[in-house]
Amino acid sequence: MNDSAEFQRSPSHFTDRITADGGDGWPVEPGRYRLVVSRACPWASRSLVVRRLLGLEDALPLAVADPVQDERSWRFTLDPDGRDPVLGIAFLSEAYHARDKEYDGGISVPAIVDVPSGKLVTNDYQRITLDLETEWRALHREGAPDLYPEALRDEIDDWMDRVYRDINNGVYVAGFAKRQEKYDAAYARLFARLDQVSEHLAGQRYLVGDTITEADVRLFTTLVRFDAVYHGHFKCNRNKLTEDRVLWAYARDLFQTPGFGDTVDFDHIKRHYYMVHEDINPTRIVPRGPDLRGWRTPHHREELGGRPFGDGTPPPPPPPEEVVQPL
């Protein structure tokens, strides 16, 4: 929050990249790194979806933090003895401080940690998925889709910029506003952009081209949280996702696509937002609704054509240890 009472997202502090040539000192190596996520976090969920679609589960093992962190940061209380079994740490902040013992900023996910040294490599959520799609190609599964095709990158980048500014981050600007006019402005930008996206998607199955791209991944992770938390908790309540015929069908289409819905944990999502944001929800009561069964209903988006994975194939089922409780 700044002096204008408007929410400002802090930039990622650690922006090293893991690349095929190791230009930043971190070469792509299977099994060397650990992806730390919370299934509650939309930014981390991007990396979960992309990792599944590309088949990087073995190459980039996963650590899942408790959705309810405390003042010491994201914690590994879901694991036996409250420690990540590979990194041996109880809190993600330990990897941040192994990298920079003087660091006193925020502890965010997704984060990639170097297992041999225990040091954080990057928390650059805007870059992590793009590098998984481009720099990690040698480790992609056979049949992995191209989520960031070179010929469409300008258009994908344009959509991602607009969606990030007004939707992905826009719900937070509205939800954490401290003055009415700041909330009103964010609310107006959010729904103006959602209306534009809805109109665009009325005539085509995906945001860019006829296949799933990174742009769809980034929009999905906000839409899937919309009715469960953003509509009420963040006061983004002009209408629910389920009340927009196009966006609701689009979101269901993606949710039912392997690699999307099988990474979503609504229990983690709801407990995080309603229990952690005590300034917004001081009682920490977690709502029972909404009814989630609609996510499995027919969407009919296939009538618009399109090929979800392009020339590729769907990912196989998730590893047993990563299966999320089904709806």
* Active site (catalytic) residues: 41, 172
Which class for 268: exposed (0-12), middle (13-18), buried (19 or more C-beta within 10 A)?
buried
What is the amino acid identity at position 303?
E
Q: Which residues contact 80 (CB under 8 A, 6 or more apart)?
A: none
Which class for 303: exposed (0-12), middle (13-18), buried (19 or more C-beta within 10 A)?
exposed
Residues β-bridged to residue 113: 34, 120
Q: Do residues 215 and 160 lie in contact, with contact meaning Cβ atoms separated by under 8 Å?
A: yes
DSSP string, 72-89: TBSB-TTSGGGS-TTT--
Element (H, E) at 300: none
DSSP annotation of 9 reads P
Q: Do residues 25 and 16 lie in contact, with contact meaning Cβ atoms separated by under 8 Å?
A: yes
| Euclidean distance between CA atoms 13 and 106, whole angstroms | 9
